[in-house]
């Protein structure tokens, strides 16, 4: 038998084998519970069917594979694009999906790359990329930065990059140029990695094009139901801050860990708090107390997270709001087998200076399932051994940025330190090692919340002075740029007065810069933020910055109205929204500005 006939015979046998009802039959439960295995096995049957066009069973085989692809796009992609499996194992599914989609497009003209669900999950796959991770080298192109990488959440490796966004960019460049340009940006950010294509190895050079147009995504932060949320300060600044907040409902069968409500945190150009990227070697680190979250029993926590059905969509737990220049807000929920619950609320406070006062404020509101249950607030950092001084935990960073964790509640925190490290040969980068130090803060019962501030500081930057205010509802943060007052009291409106600062509502913010510039923001519900005579009241996410007689601002969310009290020296004003003149009223010293739905900037000049 010559080689061609031998190959054809093997393909026929393989097709019969894969299509056999006793081999991999999801309807009968003859399959792995992991979704990627089904994708990897059932979709290639379509490739063999296309190659064997004319075989009596080729149509049946192709229909079966195509129906599987349709099923996966419908059932395994959450609203907003999050894939049912963790980022590392999504790559295993994308291998078969992109191969079959490419073959169908080439042979039949049917274009699954244009499917809204396929595009949504590829947008998600790029959107979750971290800032450039300096642990990994840039490619050899002039001026290249370290790659942006997939966060090692769940069973995955540190520094994971793929070619799939570049493949999607090439496949959609004609059908959707704007989408293609974003996909190309994501691939460029991964240093145009040509491999990571699974069974497409060797073909990806022909399926991608480094010269395609690229465009930076317009949105910085967004909710991703099923995964959680991603918050960031910039797409293009290598010193950007970034938070991935796991608040999704996909079950652990998709290679997720017991990591609900955890955070991955990069700040000032370095990774600080990350998930261990060792995948399985030497052991799988899936325990909740090895993640940056609240665990319910340090020894054997059984966390179910916010699973649920599509009708739920985490509507009662996932809430994300963004003021791109000023701050982002994200919430999530995790549940324990003993009836415990933790609701995490976090604020990413931003500065115009990437190494300025960018930091995280978190409140974890626990609920007992039974009296006096234990809760542990866990934080891991790529650092040297931390020091604990009262309620301040100092992590000396491994990459030039330290992290101070200020534990404002519970009072007199009970802190124990921890350490774990690994070394292994990992995908893409070869031999790699990772060492992290951690802390566990214990409390019993839910009388107190965990209320914390994570403040990163670069070389030669001094520590912030952080104090609690308003019976633990707020905090004052004095830093190199000035002084902030942050109100974070979700679900229970509160008020705080600190000097000439007044905040009221659930979530509000005020910053007084050393040069006299003022920044005010409200982001959830009707709230008020004021410094002296300048007072902002709004029923939607709004922020203003006052510099002399010039006021600039931003808004987001549903259409809402902002009221801005001004000093008596302001008598007349002109205003623009997105650069276009608008009518604004000034009555009894209060400006009223009607803000449309969506993300907008505005400016007001007073006389």
Domain boundaries, the chain: 3-207, 220-463, 469-607
Interior/surface letters 431-454, b for 16+ CB within 10 angstroms, e for the rest: ebebebbbbbbebeebebbbbbbb
Q: How confident is the model at residue 143 (pLDDT cuts 50, 70, 90)?
A: low
For 468-598, where are the alpha helices, taking DSSP H only? none
| Predicted TM-score (pTM) of this structure | 0.95
pLDDT cut 90: percent of the chain above it: 81
Rounded to 10 deg, the angle between the 87-107 and 164-172 helix axes is: 30
Tell me if the bond preceding 282 is cis, omega within 30° of 0. yes
Q: Which of 339-348, 352-361, 568-577 has the lowest mean pLDDT?
A: 568-577
Pairing of strands 507-513, 518-524: antiparallel
Which comes out higher in pLDDT, residue 25 or 210? Answer: 210
Structurally, at CATH architecture level, domain 3-207 sits in Alpha/alpha barrel (1.50)
Query: 83-124 pLDDT, tens per residue?
Result: 999 999 999 999 999 999 999 999 999 999 999 999 999 999
| Tokens (6 digits) for 301 | 């926590």
For 44, residues 6+ apart whose C-beta sits below 8 A from its C-beta are 18, 65, 96, 99, 100, 199
Task: Tell the CATH topology of 469-607.
Answer: Chondroitinase Ac; Chain A, domain 3 (2.60.220)
- Which residues lie closer than 8 Å to 176 by C-beta, 6 or more apart? 114, 119
Q: Which range is least confidently modeled, 247-256, 369-378, 425-434, 463-472?
A: 247-256
Q: Calculate mean pLDDT across residues 210-220.
A: 98
- What's the 3-state SS for 159-175? CECCCHHHHHHHHHCCC
182: left (phi over 0), alpha (psi -120 to 50) or beta: alpha
**C-beta separation of 499 from 518 below 8 A:** no
- Which residues, in sequence order, are CB contacts of 341 under 8 Å at separation 6+? 333, 334, 335, 366, 367, 369
Averaged pLDDT for residues 4-9: 91
Average pLDDT over residues 185-208: 89
Which fold is adopted by the domain 220-463? Answer: Beta-galactosidase; Chain A, domain 5 (2.70.98)
Q: Are 381 and 397 in contact (CB under 8 A)?
A: yes
Whose CA is closest to 39, among 87, 2, 94? 94
CB count within 10 Å of CB 64 equals: 17
Name every residue whose Cβ is closer than 8 Å to that of residue 584 and which is 6 or more positions away in sequence: 573, 574, 575, 591, 592, 593, 604
pLDDT, residue 516, reads 97
Residue-level pLDDT at 1: 72
Across the chain, mean pLDDT equals 93
- For the chain, the maximum distance between any two Cα atoms, rounded to a whole number of angstroms, is 96
For the chain, percent of residues with pLDDT exceeding 70: 95
Q: Over 337-369, what HEC string results?
A: CCCCEEEEEEEEECCCCCCCCCEEEEEEEEECC
Q: CA-CA distances (angstroms) from residue 449 to 292, 363, 443?
A: 16, 7, 9
Residues in the chain: 607
Q: How many angstroms separate the CA atoms of 143 and 132, rounded? A: 13
Residue 607 confidence (pLDDT): 67
Examine the pLDDT at 308 and tell me if it is beyond 50: no
């Amino acid at each position: 038998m010559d080689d061609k006939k031998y190959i054809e015979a093997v393909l026929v046998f393989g097709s019969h084998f894969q299509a056999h009802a006793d081999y991999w039959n999801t309807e009968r439960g003859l399959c792995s519970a992991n979704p990627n295995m089904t994708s990897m096995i059932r979709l290639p049957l379509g490739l063999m069917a296309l190659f064997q066009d004319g075989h009596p069973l080729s149509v049946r085989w192709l229909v079966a594979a195509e129906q599987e692809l349709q099923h996966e796009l419908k059932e395994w992609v959450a609203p907003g694009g999050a894939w049912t499996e963790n980022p590392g194992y999504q790559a295993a599914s994308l291998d078969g999906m992109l191969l079959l989609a490419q073959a169908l497009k080439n042979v039949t003209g049917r274009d699954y790359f244009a499917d809204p669900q396929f595009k949504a999950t590829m947008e998600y796959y790029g959107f979750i990329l971290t800032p450039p991770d300096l642990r990994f080298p840039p490619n050899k192109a002039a001026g290249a930065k370290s790659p942006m990488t997939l966060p090692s959440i769940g069973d995955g490796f540190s520094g994971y990059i793929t070619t799939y966004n570049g493949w999607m960019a090439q496949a959609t460049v004609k059908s959707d140029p704007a989408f293609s340009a974003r996909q190309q940006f994501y691939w460029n950010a991964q240093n145009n990695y040509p491999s990571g294509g699974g069974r497409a190895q060797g073909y990806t050079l022909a399926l991608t094009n480094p010269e395609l147009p690229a465009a930076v995504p317009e949105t910085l932060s967004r909710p991703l139901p099923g995964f959680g949320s991603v918050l960031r300060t910039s797409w293009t600044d290598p010193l950007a801050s970034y938070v991935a907040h796991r608040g999704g409902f996909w079950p652990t069968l998709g290679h997720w860990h017991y990591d609900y409500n955890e955070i991955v945190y990069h700040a000032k150009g370095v990774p600080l708090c990350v998930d261990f990227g060792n995948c399985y070697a030497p052991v799988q680190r899936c325990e909740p107390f090895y993640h940056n979250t609240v665990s319910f029993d340090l020894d054997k926590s059984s966390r179910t997270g916010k699973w649920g059905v599509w009708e739920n969509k985490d509507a009662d737990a996932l809430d994300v709001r963004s003021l791109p220049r000023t701050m982002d807000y994200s919430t999530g929920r995790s549940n324990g087998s003993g009836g415990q619950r933790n609701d995490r609320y976090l604020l990413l406070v931003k500065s115009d200076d990437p190494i300025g006062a960018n930091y995280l404020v978190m409140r974890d509101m626990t609920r007992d399932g039974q009296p006096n249950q234990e809760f542990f607030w866990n934080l891991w950092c790529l650092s040297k051994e931390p020091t604990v001084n009262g309620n301040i935990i100092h992590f000396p960073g491994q990459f030039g940025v330290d992290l101070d964790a200020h534990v404002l509640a519970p009072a007199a925190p009970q802190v124990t330190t921890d350490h774990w490290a690994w070394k292994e040969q990992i995908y893409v980068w070869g031999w790699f090692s990772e060492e992290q130090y951690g802390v566990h803060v214990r409390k019993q019962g839910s009388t107190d919340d965990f209320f914390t501030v994570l403040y990163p500081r670069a070389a030669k930057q001094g520590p912030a002075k952080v104090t609690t205010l308003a019976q633990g509802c707020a905090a004052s943060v004095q830093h190199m740029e000035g002084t902030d007052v942050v109100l974070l009291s979700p679900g229970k409106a509160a008020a705080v007065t600190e000097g000439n600062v007044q905040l009221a509502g659930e979530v509000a913010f005020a910053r007084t810069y050393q040069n006299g510039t003022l920044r005010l923001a409200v982001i959830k519900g009707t709230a008020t933020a004021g410094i002296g005579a300048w007072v902002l009241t709004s029923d939607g996410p709004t922020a203003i910055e006052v510099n002399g007689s010039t006021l600039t601002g931003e808004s987001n969310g549903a259409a809402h109205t902002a009221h801005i009290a001004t000093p008596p020296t302001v008598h007349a004003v002109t205003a623009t929204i997105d650069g276009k003149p608008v009518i604004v009223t000034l009555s009894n010293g209060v400006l009223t500005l009607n803000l449309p739905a969506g993300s907008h900037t505005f400016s007001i000049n007073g006389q």
